[in-house]
Amino acid sequence: MHVTRRLFLTATAATLATPALLRHGLAQSAPIRVGSLTPLSGGGGPYGPEKAKAHKVVVDLVNANGGVLGRQIELIADNSETNPEVAVRAARKMIDADRVCAILGTWASSVTLAIMPLCQEANVVQIFTGSSDYLPNGDKKHLCYNLQPLNSAWAVALADLAVKRGFREVAFAGPKNDFASSMGESFSKSLNKAGGKIIGEPFYYNTNQVSYRAEAERLMAMKAPAVFIAGYVTDFTPIYRELIRGGYTGKIFTLSFAVGPDFKKAVGNAADGILHGSPVPPVGKDTYDAYLRLVGAKPNGQVQYPYGCAAYDEMNLLLLGIEASKSTDGPKIAEAIMKMANGPGESVSTFAEGAKAIAAGKGINYDGASSSVEFLPNGMLKSRDFALYEVQKGEDVPILTTTSVVE
Amino acid sequence: MDAYFVAILTIAGIYVILALALNLQFGLTGLINFGVVGFFGVGAYASAIATETLHLPFIGGLGVALLAGAVAGALISLLSLRLSGDFLAIVTLGFAETIRLVFNNEDWLTGGPRGFLISTRPVMQGLGRGEAAWAILGVILLAALVAFVILQRLAVTPYGRALRAIREDDLVPATLGKNVFLYRLQSFVIGSMFMAAAGSLYAHYVQTITPENFTTPVAILVWMSVVVGGAGNMVGTLVGALVVVTLYEGSRFLAPWLSFLDPEQVSALRFIIIGSVLILTIRFRPNGLLPEASRVPPAPAVPLTHPKG
């Protein structure tokens, strides 16, 4: 065949236009893509898998029942490695190659903050669990929702407990990271309000050390009657050992995830007397039990999958947001999520219930597995259950469960 | 998808600069620098402080980064005076870790663990999202090209031969009157400057840097690039960096075919693939994909007259 210039131009134009035409035709039935960026390794490694699984079960369930807006949901899952540099590249792929409308499941505040500029630029919704008080600052377009209370909320409960137990002077120590430094500031403020004060300066140490003897020595030299150590299990365990060996007799306050089963196995009876607290799922509540059964666990009155239940809410909220806004456009979804989370409307706890109410033209108020899911205007969680425990004979004995509310 | 390729090419450009710089230090001169990420971080933070705290333009930030890289490189060289083998390897590893702790703890200067927000971009203001991404890609590819041309020139000149001679056996060039220490110092400082320049470009590209961006895994990728590509060969290193970034990023696209695995397993499988490629390369191409051209000395001329006897 003789290729004339005209034929060549026509053919080229048609070839180049094909993807655009196809895209237009397919857009109505193509799957809706959602990013799940969880810490499957690194510092968040213990919690990432339960989050990834929760996202998947919700999506599978919704797809089996016909999807959202008549379209299937395609889950794009990746590992953030709890590392902001890796997370940025993974998020780039999700945003630019897969064209996701939302990225859910980031855990470390540093990761959430690192991908925030990308998401803001591309109008991608972010729903995550994080505690750094700086999280709301970068969200200029109101695309972010957090299912974990910020540090300030945790600090109030622990400071109240300290004062109630007669410890008005408490030293503070924590690893040098974003989470602990904003915890230090918040705890100091809360303790002042409750009538106590921090001894000396908040003490920050570097993690991944071979020995924490120097840190323990310094804490003991402060001669504080009590010390609050906002560490993770990997650094809290060796510091606690050094404190006990060094003969420290004061009270120790910490966060529940630092004194899990691994810690108790490592120190045995020496763990007795530690006071600790953290946000907890509403144990015994029907929505939480429903989540547990969905992922194949048995409700047993204990806290299980503390982050998985939040991930379950992340996905439900997003899918309901898409259904209610009839759109995959980030800002529209985000606006719908705020309305559904805070109500007013019919209380729903799954996508199926919510979709039914939306179809009937009713307003809805989402009630989640991790909390009742009410947001402040900046997208941060308004309140969540917070439980305080004391370790007695190697077991966590609940002292009280409060609902922390941020004004 | 275009936007994604632009982003990955941008990252690849930065890794190319890092790998070329390491190739000058390790491939040509035989200096084992495990602290690549330390110099990368010094450049990133120096540039960020220059543009955000001191309000210099981007080019000023790049200049400050080059200077900071040179000073850091010179200090490390002088610390381990002999600049040889294991000592340097340990000192550089220690340097990278120390400097990361400085970034993490000196909040007043670096923003600490919260990170440093950078608003200065290496391109003009007012471009749309797509155009800005392309423009930054252009800047970084240009920088990679400049790095390649300079380092390739260095490698093929008599200067490069002196460096290779030092790598093979420092006694020989010393006997020929070459100042071995000075050559090593220069090689190390030039390499560190390029690493710092890569850091500056990276910082202004990603716009948020935290101490966690500068941990050892980055250095491992750079080392992989040099080893897979071919130490001592600049073209090989360039190919190596592109191969490593392609593998690392490309393996993300395997996920849809592996839906029978958990995301956790898919993620682990990616690292297994990357590790296997490294092992296979070392097994079957121990000198890298494009090994350094080895100069076979010409055979001695046949004597015109046979010695009698």
Report residue A318 as tokens: 């997003």
B290: DSSP letter: S
Which of A124, A177, A209 should be substituted to probe chain B, the one whose Cβ sees the most B Cβ atoms within 10 Å? A177
Q: Select from B7, B210, B218 the Cβ nearest to the Cβ of A110.
A: B210
Q: What is the DSSP string of B64-103?
A: HHHHHHHHHHHHHHHHTTT--HHHHHHHHHHHHHHHHHHH
Task: Give pLDDT, residue B212.
Answer: 84
Whether chain B has a CB inside 8 Å of the CB on A140: the answer is no
pLDDT reported for residue A268: 87
pLDDT for A228 beyond 90: yes
A 98-117 residues with CB < 8 A to B: 110, 113-114, 117
Contact at CB, A52 and B264, closer than 8 angstroms = yes
What would the two tokens of residue A108 be? 């470390």
- Given a cut of 90, is residue B176 above it in pLDDT? yes
Q: Does A124 touch chain B (CB under 8 A)?
A: no
Annotate B11-22 with DSSP letters as a single string.
HHHHHHHHHHHH
User: Counting every residue, how long is chain A?
Assistant: 407
Report the percent of chain B where pLDDT is more than 70: 98
Q: What is the distance between the alpha carbons of residues A113 and B115, in angstroms, rounded to a whole number?
A: 9
Q: How far off is chain A from B262, nearest CA to CA, in Å?
A: 8
Count of Cβ atoms closer than 10 Å to residue B270 Cβ? 21
Q: Is A92 on the interface with B (CB under 8 A)?
A: yes
Per the structure block, which two tokens stand in for A31? 């799957």
Half-sphere exposure in the Cβ direction for A276 (13 Å, CA): 25
Predicted local distance difference test score (pLDDT) of residue B267: 79
Separation in Å, CA of B241 to nearest CA in chain A: 16
Among A36, A76, A110, whose Cβ lies nearest the Cβ of B113? A110
Partner-chain contact B263 A121, CB within 8 Å: no
- Give A151-281+385-405's CATH code, choosing from 3.40.140.10, 3.40.50.720, 3.40.190.10, 3.40.50.2300: 3.40.50.2300
Amino acid in the structure at residue A47: Y
Judge residue B257's burial from the number of C-beta atoms within 10 Å of its C-beta, 0-12 exposed, 13-18 middle, 19 or more buried. Answer: exposed
pLDDT digits (tens, 9 = 90+) for A125-170: 999 999 888 889 889 999 999 998 887 778 888 888 899 889 999 9
pLDDT (tens digit per residue) in B108-142:
999 888 788 888 888 887 777 788 889 999 999 99
In angstroms, the CA A213 to CA A238 distance is 8
Between A and B, how many residue pairs show a Cβ–Cβ distance under 8 A? 99
Residue from the list B105, B114, B264 with its beta carbon closest to the beta carbon of A178? B114
**Residue A399 pLDDT > 90, yes or no?**
no
The domains of chain B are located at: 2-215
CB A146 within 8 A of CB A98: no
Please indicate whether residue A223 or residue B67 has the higher confidence score (pLDDT). B67
Cβ distance A40 to B263 less than 8 Å, yes or no, reads yes
Q: How far is CA B249 from CA A40, A94, A97, A104, A200, in A?
A: 17, 12, 12, 20, 47
Find out whether the peptide bond into A344 is cis, omega within 30 degrees of 0.
yes
Contacts of A124 (CB under 8 A, 6+ apart): A35, A95, A100, A101, A102, A103, A118, A143, A330
**pLDDT class of A25 with cuts at 50, 70, 90:** very low
Per-residue pLDDT, B309:
57
Could you give phi then psi for residue A171, rounded to 5 degrees? -90, 155
Rounded CA-CA distance A264/A220 in Å is 22
CA-wise closest residue to A74 among B243, B242, B259? B259
Fill in the DSSP letter of residue A394.
T
pLDDT tens for residues A190-201?
Answer: 999 989 999 888
Residue A18, pLDDT above cutoff 60: no
Note the CATH architecture for domain A32-128+285-370.
3-Layer(aba) Sandwich (3.40)
Q: How far is CA B125 from CA A115, B56, B120, B132, in A?
A: 22, 15, 9, 9
Structure tokens at A11: 């053919």
Phi, psi of B159 (to 5 degrees): -60, -45
- The most confident of the ranges A296-300, A327-331, B277-281 is A327-331
DSSP labels for A309-327?
A: HHHHHHHHHHHHHHHHHTS
Q: Is the per-residue pLDDT at A20 higher than 60? A: no
Burial B10-45 (b: 16+ CB within 10 A, else e): bbbbbbbbbbbbbbbbbbbbbbbbbbbbbbbbbbbb
Per-residue CA distances from A225 to A194, A220, A248 (Å): 17, 10, 9
This prediction has a pTM of 0.83
Q: Give the residue carrying structure tokens 């020929």.
A: B176
Distance from CA of B177 to the nearest CA of A (A): 46
Beta-carbon count within 10 A of A141 CB = 15
- Beta carbons of A93 and B129 less than 8 Å apart: no
Q: Do A181 and B101 touch (CB under 8 A)?
A: no
Q: What is the mean pLDDT of chain A?
A: 88
> ipTM of this complex > 0.85?
no
- Hey, are the CB atoms on A84 and B208 less than 8 Å from each other? yes
- Nearest beta carbon to residue B210 from set A49, A92, A114: A114
What confidence score (pLDDT) does residue B28 get? Answer: 95
Q: Give the one of B114, B218, B268 whose C-beta lies nearest to A85's C-beta.
A: B218
Angle between helices B216-229 and B234-250 (to 10 degrees): 120
- Cα nearest neighbour of B98 on chain A: A206
Query: B105 and A77: CB-CB below 8 Å?
Result: no
- Cβ contacts of A79 on chain B, cutoff 8 Å: 263-264, 267
Question: Residue A177 is nearest to which of B1, B11, B113, comparing CB atoms?
Answer: B113
Sequence ranges of the domains in chain A? 32-128+285-370, 151-281+385-405
Residue A401: strand pairing partners: A387
Q: Work out the minimum CA distance from A115 to partner chain B, whole angstroms.
A: 9
